[in-house]
Homo-oligomer: A and B are copies of this chain.
Amino acid sequence: MPLTNTSLANTHAYKSFGGWTKHYGHSSKTLNCDMRFAIFLPPQTASGAKVPVLYWLSGLTCTDENFMQKAGAQRVAAELGVAIVAPDTSPRGDDVADDESCDLGKGAGFYVNAVQSPWSKHYRMYDYVMDELPALIEATFPVTDKRSIFGHSMGGHGALVLALRNPGRFNSVSAFSPISNPVNCPWGQKAFSAYLGKDKTVWADYDASLLMRMAEKFTPALVDQGLADEFLEQQLKPEALEAAAKASEYPLTLNRWEGFDHSYYFISSFVESHLRFHASHLS
């Protein structure tokens, strides 16, 4: 449905495990376009309770739907009394710049603030997830201002970068198969070249391994990585994050799992442990 400048519109609502998985559209000032997000409201909110919020950032090609449909997180979030918010992965709409490939443009916002034309007009996912979306969520829904953040692949990169650059903003951070060192992998180099230009000092602000190596204030961090992940060696590079954590004595737990790949079958197998990790830091 078309949205006015200020509207927030519920488009879908699905009862899930006693709570509700809902999708909303709204007009984003940061991104200069209409956006969608999903929210799971656990059953505790029905009786007036306010709950903490766990933000989920999805990977390449995803929307606000994938995590809610495939991860199986609502069961545990309903038990723990945690809301989950899943934004889309890029600005959207006919006048938003795009690229034919799946790793640049729509579905591939990389959670950065683009400074290069034509991307800078809309691609400001860092600010959107950092400021506009939480302000909207906290003004609209029965939630507290306690927040944690997690994500997958490109979204794991986004979650780590947001937490590392803003100590105290999130109670905890976790990632499945994150792009851990984007300045040194093809996906990151392609996206950062387009969105951020040639100045690699700007790139460093969006690289979890570089940020973690310099960190002085810490957010509890958990990473799970499948060893049968087809992107492990070329794109994900968890060893860079591990070395950075060692250098700064960052409280990172990084688990490697034999046989698991990059899919939601991996995420769904470990999502319960991530939710319990975050709940322990949100309570």
- Using a CB–CB distance below 8 Å, which chain A residues touch chain B? 14-18, 21, 69-70, 72, 74-75, 226, 228, 257, 259-261, 263-266, 268-269, 272
Partner of A261, one of B15, B72, B259, B264: B15
Could you say which residues of chain B place their CB within 8 Å of the CB of A14? Answer: 261, 263, 265-266
Whether B69 and A16, one on each chain, are in contact in the complex, defined by CB atoms closer than 8 angstroms, is no
Could you say which residues of chain B place their CB within 8 Å of the CB of A70? Answer: 69-70
**A214 CB, nearest partner CB in chain B, Å:** 35
Whether B15 and A228, one on each chain, are in contact in the complex, defined by CB atoms closer than 8 angstroms, is yes
Complex Cα spacing A228 to B16, Å: 12
Whether B15 and A268, one on each chain, are in contact in the complex, defined by CB atoms closer than 8 angstroms, is no
**A62 CB, nearest partner CB in chain B, Å:** 13
Partner of A72, one of B18, B266, B268: B268
Complex Cα spacing A261 to B269, Å: 26
Complex Cα spacing A272 to B75, Å: 10
Whether B72 and A265, one on each chain, are in contact in the complex, defined by CB atoms closer than 8 angstroms, is no
Q: How many copies does the complex hold?
A: 2
Could you say which residues of chain B place their CB within 8 Å of the CB of A75? Answer: 72, 268-269, 272
Partner of A268, one of B18, B74, B266: B74
Could you say which residues of chain B place their CB within 8 Å of the CB of A21? Answer: 265
Subset of 13 A-B contacts with CB under 8 Å: A15-B259, A15-B261, A15-B265, A15-B266, A15-B269, A16-B268, A16-B269, A17-B268, A69-B70, A72-B72, A72-B268, A74-B268, A75-B272
Could you say which residues of chain B place their CB within 8 Å of the CB of A259? Answer: 15
Complex Cα spacing A21 to B268, Å: 12
Top-4 shortest CB links A-B: A14-B265, A72-B72, A15-B259, A16-B265
**A48 CB, nearest partner CB in chain B, Å:** 18
Complex Cα spacing A75 to B72, Å: 10
Could you say which residues of chain B place their CB within 8 Å of the CB of A18? Answer: 269
Could you say which residues of chain B place their CB within 8 Å of the CB of A17? Answer: 268-269
Partner of A15, one of B16, B72, B260, B272: B260
A15, A16, A226, A264: which has the most chain B beta carbons within 10 Å? A15
A14, A260, A264, A266: which has the most chain B beta carbons within 10 Å? A14
**Smallest CB-CB separation from A73: which chain B residue?**
B72
Could you say which residues of chain B place their CB within 8 Å of the CB of A15? Answer: 226, 228, 257, 259-261, 265-266, 269
